[in-house]
Structure 1
Amino acid sequence: MTMLERFTRSLLRKEVDKVPVCSVTQTGTTGLMEMTGTSWPKAFTDPEEMAALAMAGYEIAGLEGVRYPFSSPDIPQAFGCTYSKGTHDSPPHQLDFPCKNPEDVKNVVIPDNLYESPGVAAMIETTDILRKQIDDKGYELPLIAGILGPASFASCVAGVNNYLMWCVKETDALSELIRLGGEVCAEYANVLYDHGADSVVIIDSESGPDLFPPPLFEPMFLPAYQKMTRTMKGLNILHMCGDATAILEPIAESGFLGVSLEEKVHMDYASHVVGNEICLIGNVSPADDLLLRSPAEVKAAAKKCIEDGTRILAPGCGIAPYTPLENIKAFVAARDEYYSEQES
């Protein structure tokens, strides 16, 4: 079974020989940058550097997928948000946003030149480069793109403070941003599929309980997610940071094939509640385990995650930039060790 087949079948909740082991969140580390001659912040925006660093996640670290980019300001920038450039060890952070009050929402429209905006154009070019490299080298593994989702879009365009206040005081304005964000993200995802991405990860932690009241998740976000997933033409995944335990059941009804969960969600509980309805992805801690512990401890955490029911073994969120390469390799090796130990 190829890595692409294993990944695809896992998302479709079909039988596989062993769970895939990859990352559906960012994979750039300072070690991989040194080994490939790439660097942040250049690799945030330069398609050649972005592609080289993304490919290193497979070719050097052994992750069974090529995941890009390493930050996601592309869509918000196209709508007027401004960002820092980022540094050698941290992604860009938001500086300003266009919607200062609810009345500004009516001026938010999809730009005619959306796919010519710098960040989006760089993503499309990177997709083309990676697709060609994967095909030319005969790698049968998934090409995984990450983009922001409708909640993240609304939070960026309105600013976090407005986003949180408007969920109670200005629900019409916030709902319109969420609707528009869902439309833009689904359309953008389809463009990336057309250019060769196998899967698109919708990064949308702002809809989760760490920021948004759980009782409002279904009325505010479920319709947007269901419309998105009906429209998206390829394999799709929702990534949710924080403790999403309270909204696992509606997430399973969202139409996403898989959900990537942070380690705050107990995988055994999630597997019991929704494991037959959606592909569970995760959730070894990128900080407590991958960054800080020994290779042996990383292996133990990964094996427990498989035992608890993950269908795709992955970090619970983006890999920290200073994560040791030996720990990422141990994370990958743990999957094979797990199955060898089951046979013995």
Structure 2
Amino acid sequence: MSEFTLKTRLLAALKGEEVDKVPVCSVTQTGIVELMDVVGAPWPESHTDAELMAKLALANHEISGLEAVRVPYCLTVLVEGLGCEINMGTKNRQPSVTGHPYPKSLDGAAIPEDLLQRGRIPAVLEAIKIIREKVGPDVPIIGGMEGPITVASDLASVKSFMKWSIKKPELFEQVLDLSTEASVIYANAMVEAGADIISVADPVASPDLMSPDSFKQYLQPRLQNFSSQVDAVTILHVCGNVNPIIDYMADCGFEGLSVEEKVEDVKKAKEIIGDRARLVGNISSPFTLLPGPVDKIITEGKQAIADGIDVLAPGCGIAPMTPLENVKALVAARDEYYA
């Protein structure tokens, strides 16, 4: 079955089709300091400059061997376009939200008509076009973004978002709907620019913050709405221990579900989701990939494949200080498994 390209293999794996080997990539953030130095594309500059953004993303494909190119490197691009204040971080710290446009009410809240021209959104779209031109048609490009639930919490602030979920359900649902609509617009713009897969990281949807009942009642319908309107293969990443909601996640319409190492039993998780979605992960970013050693990464990677993981990947964003050799070890784990 050597007719697979990197792109057709990853897309097939995410659709539940038979592949010759499990793809290995990162559907979450891929920027590491060692590669920033190698290619001269450091943070925070490569968050705003399309050429540098593309260069750093390409490096983790070309140098480490990860089988997809993923941009950008944070979960603040869309919310910046929607009015959040952002701290752009440092060379080894990602951008973060520091100010929220609607902490008290949603008066005047609307999606700007020029959303796709705001903030760093044009840089991300341009970076995707640059990457496509460089890699050609056979390498998959993953457009990463904050999910609609996290967008909503950033617009209102996590504190107000949580309070509204209990005391002001009408505001809670209104901000969720606004965020979902904005997320669809941005995701489809990335697809139009050349992204093959949209990877949505929605940490605020985690059972650590929202109850499973709230997920089913309020969050699942918005995620279903998102996945049904985005014209690409989609992956949903939710941080933390998602065992209480993985059944609901599987009903959200995403081809892939990206999970952390806290989903310890891959076989059981696969049984629960059945043929509704494919499992991506779940090698620990902070506890395995960052510290190593290489032998541990290879052992855990091979075990994940043996347990039935569909796409071998870091369980969350790659920590910026992760050594390059440790990222390469993730690819080596897959290669050794099939040797």
In structure 2, the residue matched to 1:65 is 68
Post-superposition Cα deviations, 1:87-116, rounded to whole Å, max 9, x if no partner, equal 011011211101121xx2142101011011
In structure 2, the residue matched to 1:319 is 318
In structure 2, the residue matched to 1:231 is 229
The 8 Å contact of residues 73 and 119 in structure 1, kept in 2 or not, is answered as no
1:84 to 87, 90, 94: 87
Shift, 1:117, TM fit: 0.4
In structure 2, the residue matched to 1:294 is 293
* Aligned counterparts of 2:334 and 2:178: Cα–Cα separation in 1: 40
In structure 2, the residue matched to 1:131 is 132
1:74-113 matched pairs, under 5 angstroms: 74-101=77-104, 104-113=105-114
Post-superposition Cα deviations, 1:20-76, rounded to whole Å, max 9, x if no partner, equal 000000111111011101101101111111000000011001000001111131211
Percent sequence identity over matched residues?
39
In structure 1, the residue matched to 2:217 is 219
The 8 Å contact of residues 201 and 239 in structure 1, kept in 2 or not, is answered as yes
For residue 33 of structure 1, give the secondary structure of its aligned residue in structure 2.
helix
The 8 Å contact of residues 79 and 108 in structure 1, kept in 2 or not, is answered as no
* Aligned counterparts of 1:100 and 1:185: Cα–Cα separation in 2: 20
1:248 to 246, 249, 256: 246
1:256-295 matched pairs, under 5 angstroms: 256-266=254-264, 267-295=266-294
The 8 Å contact of residues 275 and 309 in structure 1, kept in 2 or not, is answered as no
* Aligned counterparts of 1:141 and 1:131: Cα–Cα separation in 2: 8
**Stretches (4+) displaced over 3 A:** none
What stretches of structure 1 of length at least 5 have no aligned partner?
none
* Aligned counterparts of 2:167 and 2:263: Cα–Cα separation in 1: 30
TM-score, structure 1 as length reference = 0.95
- Is structure 2 residue 305 aligned with structure 1 residue 306? yes
Post-superposition Cα deviations, 1:258-315, rounded to whole Å, max 9, x if no partner, equal 1111111122221121143211000000111011121111100111111121100000
For residue 200 of structure 2, give the secondary structure of its aligned residue in structure 1.
strand
One-letter amino acid of the counterpart of residue 212, structure 2: P
* Aligned counterparts of 1:234 and 1:214: Cα–Cα separation in 2: 27
Post-superposition Cα deviations, 1:157-182, rounded to whole Å, max 9, x if no partner, equal 01111112221111111111111111
Post-superposition Cα deviations, 1:111-160, rounded to whole Å, max 9, x if no partner, equal 0110110211111111111111111xxx6221001011111111100111
* Aligned counterparts of 1:205 and 1:229: Cα–Cα separation in 2: 17
The number of residues matched between the two structures is 335
In structure 2, the residue matched to 1:39 is 42
* Aligned counterparts of 2:254 and 2:163: Cα–Cα separation in 1: 28
One-letter amino acid of the counterpart of residue 131, structure 2: L
Post-superposition Cα deviations, 1:211-257, rounded to whole Å, max 9, x if no partner, equal 11111111101111111111111111111111111111111111111
TM-score, structure 2 as length reference = 0.96
1:143-154 matched pairs, under 5 angstroms: 143-154=141-152
* Aligned counterparts of 1:262 and 1:304: Cα–Cα separation in 2: 15
* Aligned counterparts of 2:138 and 2:332: Cα–Cα separation in 1: 19
1:4 to 3, 7, 10: 7
1:173 to 158, 171, 174: 171
Greater CA drift, 55-64 or 85-94: 85-94
* Aligned counterparts of 1:26 and 1:269: Cα–Cα separation in 2: 27
* Aligned counterparts of 1:56 and 1:244: Cα–Cα separation in 2: 31
* Aligned counterparts of 1:110 and 1:160: Cα–Cα separation in 2: 20
For residue 145 of structure 1, give the secondary structure of its aligned residue in structure 2.
strand
For residue 95 of structure 1, give the secondary structure of its aligned residue in structure 2.
strand
* Aligned counterparts of 1:309 and 1:179: Cα–Cα separation in 2: 35
